Each structure stands twice: as structure tokens, then as C-alpha cells.
Amino acid sequence: MFLSKFIDELPIPPVLKPRRKDHLYTYYKVKMTQFKQSIHSELPDTTVWGYEGSYPGPTFEVESGERVYIKWSNNLPPTHLLPIDHTVHGAHTDVPDVRTVVHVHGASVESDSDGYPEAWFTKGFEQVGPYFRKKVYQYDNNMRACTLWYHDHTLGITRLNVYAGLAGFYLIRNHRERLLNLPNGKYEIPLIIQDKTFNKDGSLYYPTQPRKPVPELETSIVPTFIGDTILVNGKVWPYLNVEPRKYRFRLLNGSNSRFYNIKLDSGQLIYQIGTDGGLMEYPIGVREIMLSPAERADVIIDFTNLEGKNVIMINDAPTPFPSGVPVDENTSIVMQFKVTLPLSCIDTSAIPANLVSLPKINEQAASKKRYLYFNMNTDKFGRPLMLLENKHWDDPITENPKLGATEIWYLINASPDSHPMHLHLIHFQIIDRRDFDVEKFNKEGIIQYTGPSIPPEAQERGWKDTVRANPYQVTRIIMKFGPYIGLYVWHCHVLEHEDYEMMRPYIVIK
């Protein structure tokens, strides 16, 4: 379907107002509902799901250390918007179709408030999953200033719930960051980038079958979702009027499967100042930024001296990455900046030479190394089934770090695709990546490196919660587990993989 580009203005999700806020705590109530929203002015309104009547959901703005309680509730209709595959774990016909649970991605949260995939609940909490513990979640926000996001995490239907619209920003700020004098206020804008496909009537399209259909099933999960349309903040190919000055953008890849390699058609530098888990040590000027699903980049773009010019944000990453479907004349376009607004006052914001101190976690501090491999299996319908450690979601827990322990995880990817691996609860640092002999590994289970240790890219040198585990490489990450104990998950953030068993529980023990 043809939709014109750059005819709708970029929406900025509203900042959510708390129901109550005092020096002890802040309380929010957030309802999930179904409603209609204009996604593009040439398209009839689209039925979506959202939080507080907004897709993307409203933005949370909290302070480091602020205690926040959120009552997430489900007020969605009883029928799902999108086709459910009832053969997928957790989505069998013994549970209601419309289930939700919310995870704040990247947050350090007690286990019972983390949005465990089986802690789902239905409308009015009438039915709840086996791990449901409480209606009001608690977030301590004992974290650095950073760009987090919240989204649905229900076992077996996360890809559908997020695709329907259940995602939004959760920003943590603090005094230190304010002292840096970064562009702020109306010059600081979050951008959630997603791909979708629409039917002529404006409704969301999600495939009922993979390219090689499964005749036994009415609906089958697909191994990758590739949309033909790019949305930013819920609008298709929007534009943003900007002043000739610096802006701060929080880039988030909120897509199901699509990777983005972000560039500006002007060829100008993008100044990256932060990663998933907060500010970097110092800004870096880059011409491209790779974002796999769930990765964030905090950036400054300078439109100074560009009066009257248009700058287009473009993308050239194939999906699956790196050797999947290349972008076309549509999916290579993200959005447009029009430098049309007069400068309303002198731009006194800064790109400071130094941002924060970022001590490297010492490899010697690690008390445990875990070797974790991913491989491709086939299910009884002949479909690809990506597993971690060859284990299913329901198999006994094998990753059980001790509270306070530092560990190194070797993510061994013997598959041809890059998988964005995400751990809940903690932020990690990337140590390196290294090619290995895949054949030898598959036969003998031995890692034999065939290349040198490759340090993380400049754009990854900071706190991360999602890392691209590239094909035929061992990616090493290091992290300290805590400050909470209990049940969490680690998984691939390609939502079609996560839903089809590329996810495992892990437990932090005393």
C-alpha cells in the first residue's frame, strides 16, 4: 500500500501524571485499553492497544532513587486484535486469549514486580497466571539516569501485545545529568521506531502463517516479522519541525524483529551520549548507529546552520540481521527533520567533553563463567525452534547466580542470525566478541577460537541490557547480580524468537 512520507507531524507521547506524589513515594495508575488512533492521514483510523489511551504509551519521568508504585490494569476487550498461535508455549487454549503483564525493560526491580511472563492477568484481574503475585508493582529506581522502556511481556503472545501497541518510554533522570546542560525541555525528544504493516482499512496486519505455511494449523507463529512501513512514536514516516540548534533524542528500537542501522542523509555526525543503561563516559561522533530490537541510543543531533534544510533519518539494515531481507525504498526511510522553526533563543546547551565515570568491571572479579549456546531446532510442524541451551521454557532452571556475584556469560551463537540478548534485573558490560569454529563446536562441544578478541564497538561502550550476539561468534558479557533475589528471565528480544522458546528463566539466589 502506498502512503506518502513526511506528511504527518511526529507525535510526542504525553508525560504521565502521577495520582499521588509526596516525599515518600509516587503512585501511578495505568490502564490498558483498545481504541482507534490515526497512524497516517491517508489511512482510516487504526484499532490499537495502548496504555492510558495512548500508543505509544505515555512517558514516565522519574528521578533516581524515587520510589514508584504502579497499578497496571487490563481493560482490554475479550478478543485479541491479532492472530494467536495456540501451539506456542503459554498460549494454549487453557488460558484466556487476552492476557497482559508489564515489564520495565532495563529496570532494577524486585522479582515480584518485574513482569514475569507467567505473572499475567486479565481484565479486572479476573484470571491470573501461576506466577502472579501483586496488583501494584514497586519500582525503587535506584539507578543511574537512563532511557528505559516498558512493554508487555506475556508468555506466548508478547509479539502480538507489543505489536498491538503496548510499549512506552520510562526515563530516569537525576541531578548529575541536569548539571551537564544537555538539550532539554522541548529540545529533548524520545523516538520509538517500529515497523508494521497495515490493511487497506487501516487495521493492523500480522501474518497468520510463515512464508512456508503449516497446513495443520489455522494460525502459526512466524520466525521473523518484517513490516513494510516504518513508524516513529506511532506515526508512519513522520516529520518534525526543528530549530537550527542541538536536540537530544532517545532512540529506541521498539520493533518485533527489525534491525535498524540509523544514519542521516546529510551525512552529518550523530553525537551519541548514552547506551541502554545510561550516559557514556564521553560523547562519540558517529555516522551510523546500529540498533537491534530493544536497544537504545541517547544521541544529540545538531541542526545549527541548517536553516531551510531537510534531514532524513535513514536505515540500511537487513532483517534478520545480517543476511536477511534488505531494506527497500520505504523501509530505508525512518523520518524527516525539517529545519523550519526560527531559533527561539540562543542554544546554550552543551555536548560536554566528559559525561560520567564508567568504571570497567574487572574480569578477575568474576566468580563464575557460564557457556550458553543457541541453536536452531525444528518442531513437529517443521518450523524453526530457537532454543537457549537446547532447553525449553519449562525445563528446570539452570542459570542461578548468587546475589552479589560477578559472572561472565559466553553467548555462543552457532546460528546465522544476530540475536539481541537481554537479561532482566541487571546491566552488563560487553567484554568482547570472537569468531569460533562452529563445526568443531557442534561436533565436540569445544570452543576453538578462529579469530582475535574484538572489543565492543564504540557505541556499545557503556552500560547495556541488550547485546547483539552475532552469528558464529562468542559474545562475552560481564555483570554483577543483585540487588534483588528471585526469579527473572533472559531471552532474545526478537519477539518472534522470545515467544517461541528463545527465553529462559533465571534465578538470583542468596
The footprint of ligand C2O (CB under 6 A) covers: 103, 105, 151, 153, 294, 422, 424, 489, 491, 493
User: Does the footprint of Cu ion cover residue 151 (CB under 5 A)?
Assistant: no
Task: Compute how many residues bind Cu ion; rule: CB under 5 A.
Answer: 4
By CB under 5 A, what part of segment 391-420 binds Cu ion? Answer: 419
Cβ of residue 154: shortest distance to ligand C2O, in angstroms?
Answer: 11
Cβ of residue 35: shortest distance to Cu ion, in angstroms?
Answer: 31
Q: Report residue 51 CA to chain centroid gap.
A: 17
Cβ of residue 40: shortest distance to ligand C2O, in angstroms?
Answer: 26
Cα-based torsion angle of the residue sequence 22, 23, 24, 29 in order, rounded to the nearest 10 degrees: 30
Please, are residues 426 and 401 in contact by the beta-carbon 8 Å criterion? no
Dihedral sign computed on CA atoms, order 424, 172, 196, 313: negative
C-alpha–C-alpha distance, residues 129 and 132, integer Å: 5
Residue 492 binding partner per list ligand C2O, Cu ion, none, with a CB distance cut-off of 5 to 8 Å that depends on partner kind? Cu ion
Residue 373 or 490 having the CB closest to ligand C2O: 490
Residue 121 or 337 having the CB closest to ligand C2O: 121
Cell numbers describing residue 278? 545510561
Cβ of residue 498: shortest distance to Cu ion, in angstroms?
Answer: 7
Cβ of residue 324: shortest distance to ligand C2O, in angstroms?
Answer: 21
Cβ of residue 467: shortest distance to ligand C2O, in angstroms?
Answer: 13
How crowded is residue 142: how many other Cβ atoms within 10 Å of its Cβ? 14
Residue 105 or 338 having the CB closest to ligand C2O: 105
Residue 151 or 245 having the CB closest to ligand C2O: 151
Residue 80 binding partner per list Cu ion, ligand C2O, none, with a CB distance cut-off of 5 to 8 Å that depends on partner kind? none
Residue 107: name the closest of 494, 426, 479 by CA. 426
Task: Write the single-letter amino acid at 423.
Answer: L
Cβ of residue 168: shortest distance to ligand C2O, in angstroms?
Answer: 12
Cβ-closest position to Cu ion: 492
CA distances from 72 to 155, 157, 160, 468 (A): 17, 18, 18, 30
Cβ of residue 152: shortest distance to ligand C2O, in angstroms?
Answer: 9
Residue 58 or 283 having the CB closest to ligand C2O: 58
Residue 494 binding partner per list ligand C2O, Cu ion, none, with a CB distance cut-off of 5 to 8 Å that depends on partner kind? Cu ion
Residue 468 binding partner per list ligand C2O, Cu ion, none, with a CB distance cut-off of 5 to 8 Å that depends on partner kind? none
C-alpha–C-alpha distance, residues 457 and 40, integer Å: 36
Q: Which residues pair with 314 in a beta bridge?
A: 263, 333
User: Does the footprint of Cu ion cover residue 492 (CB under 5 A)?
Assistant: yes
Residue 159 or 422 having the CB closest to ligand C2O: 422
Collect all residues with Cβ–Cβ distance below 8 Å to 444 and sequence separation of at least 6: none
Q: Break the chain down into helix, strand, coil percent, rounded to 5.
A: 5, 40, 50
Choose, by CB under 5 A, the member of 248, 468, 497, 504 that binds Cu ion.
497
Residue 327 or 508 having the CB closest to ligand C2O: 508
CA distances from 70 to 50, 300, 305, 379 (A): 16, 31, 44, 39
User: Does the footprint of Cu ion cover residue 433 (CB under 5 A)?
Assistant: no
C-alpha–C-alpha distance, residues 109 and 489, integer Å: 12
C-alpha–C-alpha distance, residues 493 and 282, integer Å: 28
Cβ-closest position to ligand C2O: 105
Residue 194: name the closest of 294, 327, 336 by CA. 294
Residue 419 binding partner per list ligand C2O, Cu ion, none, with a CB distance cut-off of 5 to 8 Å that depends on partner kind? Cu ion
User: Does the footprint of Cu ion cover residue 494 (CB under 5 A)?
Assistant: yes
CA distances from 403 to 148, 483, 486, 505 (A): 23, 7, 9, 16
Residue 129 or 244 having the CB closest to ligand C2O: 129
DSSP string, 330-398: TTTEEEEEEE-SPP-S-------S-----PPPPGGG-SEEEEEEEEEEE-TTS-EEEEETTB-TTSPP-
Residue 153 binding partner per list ligand C2O, Cu ion, none, with a CB distance cut-off of 5 to 8 Å that depends on partner kind? ligand C2O
Residue 461 binding partner per list Cu ion, ligand C2O, none, with a CB distance cut-off of 5 to 8 Å that depends on partner kind? none
| Binding segment toward Cu ion, per CB under 5 A, in 313-321, 444-452, 462-470, 487-495 | 487-495
Cβ of residue 292: shortest distance to Cu ion, in angstroms?
Answer: 9
Cβ of residue 146: shortest distance to Cu ion, in angstroms?
Answer: 24
Residue 497 binding partner per list Cu ion, ligand C2O, none, with a CB distance cut-off of 5 to 8 Å that depends on partner kind? Cu ion
Residue 424 binding partner per list ligand C2O, Cu ion, none, with a CB distance cut-off of 5 to 8 Å that depends on partner kind? ligand C2O
C-alpha–C-alpha distance, residues 467 and 476, integer Å: 10
User: Does the footprint of Cu ion cover residue 387 (CB under 5 A)?
Assistant: no
By CB under 5 A, what part of segment 296-315 binds Cu ion? Answer: none
x/- site string to Cu ion, residues 79 to 118, per CB under 5 A? ----------------------------------------
C-alpha–C-alpha distance, residues 200 and 229, integer Å: 13
Kind of pairing, strands 278-286 and 270-275?
antiparallel
Find the radius of gyration of the CA atoms of the chain.
22
Any idea how long the chain is? Answer: 510
DSSP string, 96-152: -S--B-EEEET----GGGS--TT--B-GGGSSB-TT---SEEEE---S-SEEEEEEE
Residue 294 binding partner per list ligand C2O, Cu ion, none, with a CB distance cut-off of 5 to 8 Å that depends on partner kind? ligand C2O
Query: Would you tell me which residues interact with Cu ion (CB under 5 A)?
Result: 419, 492, 494, 497
